[in-house]
Amino acid sequence: MDEKLNDHISKVIEGTKCIKNTIEDSNREEINGLGATESVKEVKEKKLYALKLLYNHEICFTEVDNIRLLRYQSVVIETDNGPEIAAVLGEVKSEHNGVQIRKFLRICTDEDFKKKKKNEERAKEAFNIALEKIKKHKLDMKLVSVHYFLDDNKVLFNFTADERVDFRELVKDLASVFKKRIELRQIGARDEAKIVQGIGVCGRPFCCNSVKYELQPVTIKMAKDQNLTLNSSKISGACGRLLCCLAYEHELYAEIKDQYPEEGSKVVVNGKEYTLSEINVVKRKAQLKTSDGITMYVPLEELPKREKPNTVEEEQEIIIEDI
């Protein structure tokens, strides 16, 4: 690779330019704050876009007028902590009622990219200083990340801890060093995984970082309904919590199983009584056992449907309330 090509790549990484060819290939780039600053197309209608904040990988939304944003383009939006850089994930065409819409400020400029790079360097230094201060105050906490906000109004320190931590003296100590507002935020294990990033047992990036809009509760019942092993090492992610993906298909499993008798109950199939051992939703088969322990499999369609109570009155009440 010659020197000219190396220089060209360096300019792209710094955000000073964006090659037209990379716009066409942008879907294959990582979300790393690169972004097209020159190819903006005018559009008449208002559009809603999903974004990912670069410093904590939170998903957020913004509306823009008269411009079309490109995927992975870097933009500046207004957040609760002031302006911040986010990467465009794509246009939102379905209904998303109730989501908070962040104010769109501008497409990232060269100055924004330079400030971002400088803040990242400062954050590395601040991380090491904070580790020393935590050790000095003998606090039982794990520092996860440090972030300087774009407008330089304060420094955020994310940490995890098993219990509540009295970090008041630590805040004073850090404020005397950095001469800025200091925020220490205790986060959970799943939030830590989202910020740190990594590869799950499936070989794909963590769901909390790559595909989930918000972290939803995941319960052991979801694993039971999908007939998965209850071995914690098999159904837990790198964060030590239940895998996010357990929630993806749970609704379908619950809906199908709700149509048939409960597992472990007695059922009559083709005039004979069996014990219903398992309902395999993927194969759409049921495992049956005879009284003498013989196992057999039948299609779900041959199982008797579960009798449901008459809820006409309750449904009428609900309809009246809705009206």
- Indicate whether 83 belongs to any domain: yes
- Indicate whether 291 belongs to any domain: no
For residue 32, is pLDDT > 80?
no
Angle between helices 110-136 and 168-178 (to 10 degrees): 130
- Indicate whether 234 belongs to any domain: yes
For residue 303, is pLDDT > 70?
yes
Range of the domain at 237: 191-254
For residue 157, is pLDDT > 90?
yes
Report the number of distinct structural domains present in the chain.
3
Least confident range from 14-18, 50-54, 281-285: namely: 14-18
Whichever domain contains 164, its CATH number is 3.30.300
pLDDT at 5: 40
Q: Are residues 91 and 22 in the same domain?
A: yes
Q: Are residues 52 and 126 in the same domain?
A: no
Query: Which residue, 254, 269, 299, sits at the end of a domain?
Result: 254
- Indicate whether 179 belongs to any domain: yes
- Indicate whether 15 belongs to any domain: yes
For residue 106, is pLDDT > 90?
yes
Give the integer Cα–Cα distance in Å for 264 and 277: 5
Query: Which residue, 159, 187, 215, sits at the end of a domain?
Result: 187
Q: Are residues 150 and 202 in the same domain?
A: no
Q: What is the mean pLDDT of the chain?
A: 80
- Indicate whether 276 belongs to any domain: no
Which ranges of the chain does DSSP label H, i.e. alpha helix?
3-13, 20-24, 110-136, 168-178, 189-196, 207-210, 220-225, 232-235, 250-257, 312-322
Q: Are residues 14 and 103 in the same domain?
A: yes
Query: Which residue, 108, 127, 160, sits at the end of a domain?
Result: 108
- Indicate whether 151 belongs to any domain: yes
